[in-house]
Amino acid sequence: MIQLHYHPSNASFTPHVLLREVGASFELILVDRDGGAHKRPEYLKLNPNGKIPVLVADDLVLYETAAIAMHLADMYPAADLAPALQSAERAHYYKWMAWLTNTLQIRLMHYFYPARLADDVDPAPLKRRAEADALALLQQLDDQLAAHSGPWLLGAHYRAVDPFAFMLCRWTRNFSGRKARDFPHIGPWLQRVHQRPAVQAAFEAEEATAPFY
Ligand SMILES: N[C@@H](CCC(=O)N[C@@H](CS)C(=O)NCC(=O)O)C(=O)O
């Protein structure tokens, strides 16, 4: 049995979508973030970082969104969510997974939690800077979508990087100015990802409301 420890609209959204995309049978376990459940010993046994998500599949306990996404893609090859091993597309899939998690996601974390960056410093300029940096990074995503004629991030096929990138773009929906959806190639791609039944079902299960991205 697969269990996904999640919280609505958190990083768990990516594995949540992927579990639906591959047609897995799974149970959603709500982490009481407001009550601090993710910092309690029981949860820290699953993820010592105290972060959401965690995927539990029998004896496997896995944290880190990118790792969970790649593992699900590998476990359900029929869903074709990862390019063929040793292909150039596979190499770029690894690159985008790494970039999404260690470059774009990090700046978005700085945007959401600027006060964690430094004590006794006004977080407002740190937040503004993180927002500007994230927007500059989004240009790379827009350029990637413009670089080929396919509908998805890597080209012709929807891959596990698509819902991951979608989730991070969604997190810009309350930016003070330009948002991911305002980029000329990201906007239509977000619309396409949003229309996928797995994404719709995950939003419904998480009781998300508009704007979705
Ligand atoms: N690198 C981790 C980051 C996960 C993460 O930061 N999750 C957030 C929710 S989106 C969280 O659990 N925050 C709680 C906290 O930082 O205390 C991943 O991608 O799984």
Task: Please report the pLDDT score of residue 131 as a whole number.
Answer: 98
DSSP assignment, residue 83? P
Domain boundaries, the chain: 2-79, 88-196
Task: Please report the pLDDT score of residue 167 as a whole number.
Answer: 98
User: Which of 90, 129, 82 has the alpha carbon at shortest distance from 110?
Assistant: 129
Residue with tokens 């969604």: 170
| Cβ(12) – ligand 1 distance below 6 Å | no
In this structure, which CATH number among 1.10.150.110, 2.40.50.140, 3.30.2350.10, 3.40.30.10 belongs to the domain 2-79? 3.40.30.10
Are the beta carbons of 62 and 68 closer than 8 angstroms?
Answer: yes
| Cβ(110) – ligand 1 distance below 6 Å | no
Q: CA-CA distances (angstroms) from residue 204 to 9, 80, 81? A: 11, 24, 22
Per-residue pLDDT tens over the stretch 155-204: 999 999 999 999 999 999 999 999 999 999 999 999 999 999 999 999 99
Rounded distance, CA 159 to CA 153, Å?
A: 8
Band (pLDDT 50/70/90 cuts) for residue 212 is very high
- Distance from the CA of 49 to the center of ligand 1, in angstroms? 8
Band (pLDDT 50/70/90 cuts) for residue 151 is very high
For residue 101, which atom of ligand 1 is closest to its CA?
Answer: 19
Sign of CA dihedral 186, 187, 191, 194: positive
Range 66-92 average pLDDT: 98
Per-residue pLDDT tens over the stretch 4-63: 999 999 999 999 999 999 999 999 999 999 999 999 999 999 999 999 999 999 999 999
Q: What's 88-196's CATH class? A: mainly alpha
Task: Please report the pLDDT score of residue 57 as a whole number.
Answer: 98
For residue 66, which atom of ligand 1 is closest to its CA?
Answer: 19
